Chain A
């Protein structure tokens, strides 16, 4: 299939998704304590992932997945109340990313 056909098929849905992301980021800017929210590990991972989207190398999906993944190798000691957030939350002693 020629790539222009993919543009025709998928542009409207993805235009809508793009506006959702823009509105999500505007919401964070508009609400109080935006600076604090922008330091959150999820926000920072999100912005990092957005930058990946501008690299036209056909590997954007894998790179976004990797940017949002736990890079450590060791099992965790106990589940306790640890939860999955969708972005990796560095623990004490973990190098920043």
Chain B
């Protein structure tokens, strides 16, 4: 079966991982800009990082027949450093213009602080001006429900952004209902130990339906699994779900959301 992974950090993965993606039918991936696992010292480090995801990864991916797109943005974790964040914001237009960058992301909140909110608001305004798709990172653990609500309030206040052009990622059982009610897309992240399991992701599709959901691995530099989407699709199969439903959740849904950016073409 064909799968699109709409959230995976390939800068942190090996060439063997690209090969595994290719074997498993994951031939289109999108990579959001995020925290590197440590706080970067200067805006130059972000410049190099954006070059990496706009230029280097698409070439690496293409060797394996994989189509690689990216999202450009200032992550919430480093947004607490306002002076650094404002320097990074100035770079965004240059990289949003690149031919494989498909929107602003992943932006959002990490600890729900006032500085994080200020930088998120600035990026929502850039997204609105440029009519960019938006990929939202929500906080983890006990901060998630509060953060998701704060983020949705901020987006609703930016009336130029259509909810149907925003995907709110790392949703869990207690945030999905409100995200859907507000007309946003939502992402489910499969992350061993700390986030959702394949079983819970399939429960979610059974409970909330298959509309407006994209499932991703968020595979990165920490304990994570680039084949998590395949394993989740297998869990659906094991429960007797139809192939068409699996194709919708793992291919047609992400294709529908991402294709709102004319630069995006799925393999």
> Chain A: residues with CB nearer than 8 A to chain B?
1, 9-10, 61-62, 65-66, 68-73, 75-79, 82, 84-88
Contact = CB atoms under 8 A, between A and B. Distances in A.
B240 to A, nearest CB: 6
B112 A75 contact: yes
Contacts of B240: 1
B80 interface: yes
A78 B111 CA distance: 9
Contacts of B172: 65
Contact of A87 (B142, B150, B173): B142
B145 interface: yes
A69 B114 contact: no
Interface of B: 80, 110-117, 139-146, 149-150, 172-174, 199-200, 203, 238-240
Contact of A70 (B80, B145, B200, B203): B145
Contacts of A84: 111, 139-143
A79 B174 contact: no
A29 B68 CA distance: 51
B142 A75 contact: no
A88 B80 CA distance: 21
B113 A77 contact: yes
A62 B142 contact: no
Most chain A CB inside 10 Å of its own CB: which residue of B113, B150, B238: B113
Contacts, number: 67
A78 B115 contact: yes
Interface of A, helix, strand, loop or mixed by DSSP: loop
A32 to B, nearest CB: 28
A69 B113 contact: no
Counting from the closest, the 9 A-B pairs by CB-CB distance are: A65-B174, A84-B141, A69-B145, A88-B142, A61-B173, A79-B80, A86-B141, A79-B111, A62-B173
A62 B174 contact: yes
A78 B149 contact: no
Most chain A CB inside 10 Å of its own CB: which residue of B116, B142, B199: B142
A61 to B, nearest CB: 5
A79 B115 contact: yes
Nearest to A14: B199
Most chain A CB inside 10 Å of its own CB: which residue of B146, B199, B200: B146
21 contacts: A1-B239, A10-B199, A61-B200, A65-B145, A65-B173, A66-B174, A70-B142, A70-B145, A71-B146, A75-B114, A75-B150, A76-B112, A76-B113, A78-B114, A79-B110, A79-B116, A84-B143, A85-B141, A86-B141, A86-B142, A87-B142
A44 B149 CA distance: 25
Contact of A69 (B111, B146, B203, B239): B146
Nearest to B194: A86
A71 B111 CA distance: 14
Contacts of B173: 61-62, 65
Nearest to A61: B173
